[in-house]
């Protein structure tokens, strides 16, 4: 691959999320989130693990920042655990929890690393789930309060705010499919959750701007779906369009254009009457954004099931809900084709180029940031203690080249965050999947340089992609 150069001010970073790395789940007044509860449910997590200890970053953040400084990254995307900030149902501020993020932020700044803070990376306080969770409207208002508290305290130091990480996962994996916390399977509730997440974002942006000033940089991170039709038949194209509406436009429409596509209502008419959508909500959601964060890992191929017709309302409501995609009973996903990552996901770098360009064509003024991209492989520690993760290096190289192609074609992408800084708790997969540039020995908490970290270090230092194989 010919080396590709990136602009000098391009932001190279790494990303993590609170529940995946922090551990210390009862320290300094933190109370349970839906993930603590979900992890205790037998069978919910592949290896029975939880985030109770994870990478212990709550205590080791200075060591991890030192690693990032050595890596040379300019930004760290971390998330703030809501149940550390407001651990009780009355929403009282827990100063000790807030102080942790204040120290983390200061330490990043002292190392010249820009703090990119996500307010919600899936760890809803359990007391809010007990009160209805995201399907309940009040959760959005509570998020607005939480955002105001954090922005009031850290607003002068955070480089970029991200309200929500991947609301697709919160709504559909959490409430439709049940693979993620809180593990509910209720498609009408999942659609209400989607809307209330949008509303939470809008209220959050307003709170950040009110507290941190109108120049605060605000964003949201979406895992936009790249969907390919199995054939070029009209039916398969329709399947793609329907999934794009429920997977992508349900966020992009209200966030960026202040409206829901009417077809979203007809696609899901047998699931929900959308009575949770109230007058004035779209204006609350449609707030100015400094940039859009995009997470990309893989693409999917889909088709319309032959002869399938959507169920009617009584049928749909009279049997258990299945799958992550509300209203999409007649559509099916084809098995991914290899080579796959350890997650079973395909590797399709061109999907990243296409995705960035398609968003850019629709919203030419909008700045973009790749807020997550990376891969899990079954890393082996060599006899000399090192990890030679050639496949991850190749994945990174191919996707960063794809990013470069999108930028060369005009997409205004300002940064890229490798997922992840370190191996960590990979949600329902527990500790069985490793995404880190650094390995973690979970017995000793030692961080181990992988070849991918060396490769990324060379890229960050020079602004130019090194040879894909570090041995070359």
Q: Which residues are near ligand FCB by CB under 6 A?
A: 17, 20, 165-166, 169, 223, 295, 372, 419, 426-427, 435
Q: Least distance in Å: CB of 376 to ligand FCB?
A: 7
332 is catalytic: no
d(CA 63, CA 308): 55
Query: Which of residues 73 and 136 has its CB atom nearest to ligand FCB in the complex?
Result: 73
Provide the pairing of β-strand 218-222 with 75-79.
unpaired
Q: Which token pair is 320?
A: 């258990």
Query: Which of residues 175 and 435 has its CB atom nearest to ligand FCB in the complex?
Result: 435
Q: Least distance in Å: CB of 370 to ligand FCB?
A: 12
Q: Least distance in Å: CB of 157 to ligand FCB?
A: 24
**Which of these is catalytic: 22, 129, 244, 372?**
372
**Which of these is catalytic: 22, 129, 166, 426?**
166
d(CA 452, CA 17): 20
d(CA 77, CA 104): 12
Query: Which of residues 115 and 466 has its CB atom nearest to ligand FCB in the complex?
Result: 115
Query: Which of residues 119 and 149 has its CB atom nearest to ligand FCB in the complex?
Result: 119
Alpha helices in 72-137 (DSSP H): 82-85, 95-110, 126-130
166 is catalytic: yes
Provide the pairing of β-strand 291-295 with 218-222.
parallel
**Do the Cβ atoms of 177 and 184 come closer than 8 Å?**
no
d(CA 171, CA 32): 19
Q: Least distance in Å: CB of 20 to ligand FCB?
A: 6
**Do the Cβ atoms of 220 and 255 come closer than 8 Å?**
yes
DSSP 203-253: HHHHHHHHHH-TT--EEEEE----EEESSSSHHHHHHHHHHHIIIIIHHHI
Q: Least distance in Å: CB of 361 to ligand FCB?
A: 25
Query: Which of residues 17 and 136 has its CB atom nearest to ligand FCB in the complex?
Result: 17
Q: How many CA atoms lie within 13 A of 367 on its CB side?
A: 14
Active site residues: 166, 372
């Amino acid at each position: 691959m010919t080396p590709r150069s990136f602009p000098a001010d391009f932001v190279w970073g790494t990303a993590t999320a609170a529940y995946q790395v922090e551990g210390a789940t009862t320290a300094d007044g933190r109370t349970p989130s839906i993930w603590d509860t979900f992890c205790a449910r037998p069978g919910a997590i592949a290896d029975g693990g939880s985030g109770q200890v994870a990478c212990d970053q709550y205590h080791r953040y200075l060591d991890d920042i030192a690693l990032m400084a050595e890596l040379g990254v300019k930004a760290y995307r971390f998330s703030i655990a809501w149940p550390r900030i407001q651990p009780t149902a009355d929403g009282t501020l827990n100063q000790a929890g807030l102080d942790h993020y204040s120290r983390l932020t200061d330490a990043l700044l002292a190392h010249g690393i820009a703090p990119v803070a996500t307010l919600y990376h899936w760890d809803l306080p359990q007391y809010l789930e007990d009160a209805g969770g995201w399907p309940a409207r009040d959760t959005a208002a509570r998020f607005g309060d939480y955002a105001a508290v954090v922005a009031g305290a850290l607003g002068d130091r955070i480089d970029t705010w991200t309200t929500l990480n991947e609301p697709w996962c919160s709504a559909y994996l959490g409430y439709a499919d049940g693979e993620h916390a809180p593990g509910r399977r209720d498609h009408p509730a999942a659609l209400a959750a989607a809307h209330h997440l949008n509303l939470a974002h809008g209220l959050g942006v307003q709170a950040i701007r009110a507290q941190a000033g109108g120049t605060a940089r605000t964003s949201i991170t979406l895992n936009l779906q790249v969907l390919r039709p199995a054939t070029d038949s009209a039916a398969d194209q329709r399947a793609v369009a329907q999934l794009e509406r429920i997977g992508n436009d349900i966020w992009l429409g209200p966030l960026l254009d202040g409206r829901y596509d009417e077809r979203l209502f007809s696609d899901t008419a047998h699931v929900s009457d959308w009575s949770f959508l109230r007058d004035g909500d779209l204006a609350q959601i449609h707030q100015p954004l400094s940039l859009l964060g995009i997470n990309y890992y893989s693409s999917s191929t889909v088709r319309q099931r032959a002869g399938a017709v959507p169920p009617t309302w009584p049928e749909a409501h009279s049997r258990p809900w299945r799958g992550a995609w509300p209203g999409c009973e007649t559509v099916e996903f084809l098995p991914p084709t290899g080579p796959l990552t350890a997650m079973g996901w395909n590797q399709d770098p061109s999907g990243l180029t296409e995705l960035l360009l398609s968003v850019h064509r629709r919203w030419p003024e909008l700045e973009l940031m790749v807020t997550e991209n990376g891969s899990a492989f079954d890393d082996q520690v060599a006899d000399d203690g090192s990890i030679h993760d050639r496949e991850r290096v190749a994945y990174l190289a191919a996707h960063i080249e794809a990013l470069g192609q999108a930028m060369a074609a005009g997409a205004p992408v300002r940064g890229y965050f490798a997922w992840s800084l370190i191996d960590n708790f990979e949600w329902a997969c527990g500790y069985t999947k490793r995404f880190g540039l650094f390995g973690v020995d979970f017995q000793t908490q030692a961080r181990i340089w992988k070849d991918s970290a060396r490769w990324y270090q060379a890229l960050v230092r020079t602004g130019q992609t090194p040879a894909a194989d570090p041995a070359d």
